[in-house]
Amino acid sequence: MTEPTPPPVPRATPTSPGGSRRRLGWMAWVMVLGPGVIAAIAGVDAGGIATYASAGAEFGYATLFVMLLVTVALVVVQEMSARLGAHTGEGLMALIREQFPLRASAFAIVALLIANLGLVVSEFAGIGAAFELFGVSRYIAVPIAAVVVWAVVVLGNYRWAERVFLVLALALVTYPIAAVLGEPDWGAVTSNLLLPHVVWSKEFLFLCVALVGTTITPYLQLYQAAAVADRGAGPDEYRKVKVDTITGSIVANVVAMAIIIVVGTAIGGSGPLGSASEAAEALEPVVGSGAEVLFGIGLLGASALAAAVVPLATAYAVAEAVGVERSVSRTFREAPLFMGLFTALVVVGAAVALIPGNLISLLVNMQVLNGFITPIMVTFILILANRRNVLGAAVNGPRFRVVATICVVAVAVLAAVVFVQTVAGWFGLG
């Protein structure tokens, strides 16, 4: 995978003592930030916003402890992905192709395609939900957005568009501010964050899987490893890569928890969200009548960014896995699989997002689909990071291996429980 990649990291240079050196220290820290933070921002996408908001609306603060555990798991998984990229110089799909039998590699590719198709659907559904806040029908907005996303990547300047989308998505920082200014019950917030408050219901477990699926989505791990490898960050620079990775994971989940807190404070216990406007209402105590506009801009920016990045990253990963040409600078004739797959994902994702129904419900359901597939991809990552012939001295240590295994098993068990409940429900056994 060679696109999209973050800009090269400038190296710090000596400076004078005192304030200049301190300023350079802060600048150097900021310069370290790259793939980890970019992946984190892309991870708080349409499906994430909808899922976190739904968790707050339906169960108040009860899912905060789950999010704390998910944060630990995200840090562990993203760190392993970044380490694999830095120490091997390869993306995850290339490593899976090299290290596993053909059938296992094919299974990984199929799982990736299913997971990321669900993500593309959720991004276009997010675009539709955002435009509906502005009074524009999804049946007009989504097709136009699909054409624009396709043209920007295939015909235009993707890097410029990515910056615009990221700026729009910065509206999401309103949620941490709102979490402080919205006057939640901080005692209840702290209690729910540090202690389990499990609601023994199918709906709660279903939403927990959705939280896992939207936070530890396979796309983030693919992007993390490939971006680190593509920018040429080798073992000598891994300390900086690790800081970037951990920072990005924590920042993303602080925003996620803030969304849960804000919505939980405003409309907690009201039941599942019926529309994006209900989530926007949670911002009204802070930004007043402009809440819907601000929420819509953030949702649109996050959705548009991921609607371009996810199918692009998927096309790169699959092309990498089968060893064919992959580049946005190539034509359809020169890179038929790469260009064809990117186009197909955009078309199918936009088409499914146009199916009549509750867009917020669609977004959450797609994250549950990711929750089922996430354990598969994370298991591949864990096995790779445990193999000395892959990472050498950088292989998982005994303690880290135990923590990582617990995270993977916990995610897998949770997904399995909900899957069994779902299947049982189809036969009237639930």
Tell me what pLDDT residue 347 has.
93
Query: Who has greater pLDDT, 159 or 126?
Result: 126
Q: How many Cβ atoms are within 10 Å of 81's Cβ, its own excluded?
A: 30
Output 125 or 64, whichever has higher pLDDT: 64
Percent of the chain exceeding pLDDT 70 equals: 77
Which pTM value belongs to this model?
A: 0.78
Tell me what pLDDT residue 31 has: 44
Nearest residue to 214 (alpha-carbon basis) of 55, 359, 422, 59: 55
Binned at pLDDT 50, 70 and 90, residue 141 comes out as: very high
Domains assigned to the chain: 32-426 (1.20.1740.10)
Predicted local distance difference test score (pLDDT) of residue 428: 60
- Residue 422 pLDDT exceeds 70: no
Model confidence at 60: pLDDT above 80: yes
Hey, which of 31-45, 197-211, 224-238, 353-367 has the most confident mean pLDDT? 197-211
Mean pLDDT of 182-189: 88
The predicted pLDDT at position 315 comes to: 82
Higher-pLDDT residue of 79 and 367 is 79
pLDDT band at residue 424 under the 50/70/90 scheme: low
The listed range with the strongest mean pLDDT (59-68, 80-89, 202-211, 329-338) is 59-68
- Of 104-113, 232-241, 358-367, where does mean pLDDT reach its minimum? 358-367
**Cis geometry, peptide bond prior to residue 398 (ω within 30 degrees of 0):** no
Which of 18-27, 263-272, 403-412 is least confident? Answer: 18-27
Instruction: Flag whether pLDDT at 18 surpasses 50.
Output: no
Q: What is the pLDDT of residue 328?
A: 60
Query: Coil, helix or strand for 66?
Result: helix
- In 228-373, the DSSP E strands lie at none
From the list 357, 207, 358, the residue with the least C-alpha distance to 275 is 358
Cis before residue 17, ω within 30 degrees of 0? no
pLDDT at 303 over 50: yes
- Pick left, alpha or beta for residue 179 (phi over 0 → left; psi -120 to 50 → alpha; otherwise beta): alpha
- Confidence check: pLDDT of 187 > 90: yes
Least confident of 94-103, 121-130, 238-247, 417-426: 417-426
Distance CA 51, CA 260 (A): 9
